[in-house]
A and B are shown apart, each in its own frame.
Chain A
């Protein structure tokens, strides 16, 4: 889209959307929201950038390798946090018995492993949205060429 109004409004809007996404992800254990909704908002901001600035300009900043790396690291992070429970002598994916600090309920640093997992899962969900959308839209553009 080569409309100046849309481009400038999007450039102003995207940081706010991403800050909101990070807020929803970090406060997943004390307010409504969490990794899946926050990750979807994060993915939506990248999808908006792709729609407005085009895939070529977007890929220069945030290529396929970065997206795949974030995706794999987010998935492995979940399993690593789960394996920490076995190292501490409890079951797979335990929270309190594995010795994570509980903190004061209702504050940001509380609930042990839950925010730790939420951050990894939120990044994973966001990059999943980006990868799925890019897979479909790049195919469409290539098809239009020939």
Chain B
């Protein structure tokens, strides 16, 4: 089985990697702080997608084990763990946004480079 076939079968993981790279590139190249937060959220989503898709079982249904249901179920543990991750992502986003509001009040700009310049001038 060639490497192309494996990559084709694992394309969910590849999409997660692509999302991660998009978020990373956004965080590196933009100096606007709000855009940095957006890039961080895209990276979060990529990690969640990778984790959730690692729990899929072919032909599986949602893990609701009623009396009448049968057959393979998808793995419930990644879903349960990623719930924690989503909550933490929301908390970190809210805290970062509140810090950005504080910074904007202090310096009057959202640009990270300009804030660094103003800080050196202050000193």
Contact of A105 among B67, B94, B101, B104 (CB under 8 A): B67
User: B97–A36 contact, CB under 8 A?
Assistant: no
In angstroms, Cα B86 to Cα A36, docked, is: 10
**8 A Cβ contacts from B45-92 to A:** 62, 64, 66-67, 83, 86-87
Q: 5 A-B Cβ contacts within 8 A?
A: A31-B64, A36-B83, A36-B86, A136-B101, A139-B98
Q: Which 8 A-B pairs have the closest CB atoms?
A: A132-B94, A139-B101, A106-B66, A36-B83, A136-B97, A32-B62, A106-B67, A36-B87
**What chain B residues lie within 8 Å of A106 (beta carbons)?**
66-67
Shortest CB-to-CB span from A22 to chain B, Å, is 20
Q: How far is the CA of A132 from the CA of B94 in the complex (A)?
A: 7
A78 to chain B, nearest CB (A): 14
A19 to chain B, nearest CB (A): 22
Q: A32-B62, A105-B66, A106-B67 are in contact. List 8 more A-B contacts (CB 8 A).
A: A30-B64, A32-B64, A36-B86, A105-B67, A136-B94, A136-B98, A139-B98, A140-B101
Contacts across chains A and B counted by CB atoms under 8 Å? 22
Q: Report the separation of the CA atoms of residues A87 and B45 in the bound assembly, to the nearest whole angstrom.
A: 41
Give the number of chain B interface residues (Cβ < 8 Å): 13
What DSSP secondary structure best describes chain B's contact surface?
A: helix
- Tell me which residues across on chain B come within 8 A of A36, comparing CB atoms: 83, 86-87
Q: Which residues of B sit under 8 angstroms from A136, Cβ to Cβ?
A: 94, 97-98, 101
| Minimum Cβ distance to chain A for residue B80 (Å) | 10
Q: Smallest distance from the beta carbon of B78 to chain A beta carbons, Å? A: 15
Interface flag for A143 (CB, 8 Å)? yes
By a CB distance below 8 angstroms, the chain A residues around B98 are 135-136, 139
* A31, A132, A140, most chain B CB atoms within 10 A: A132
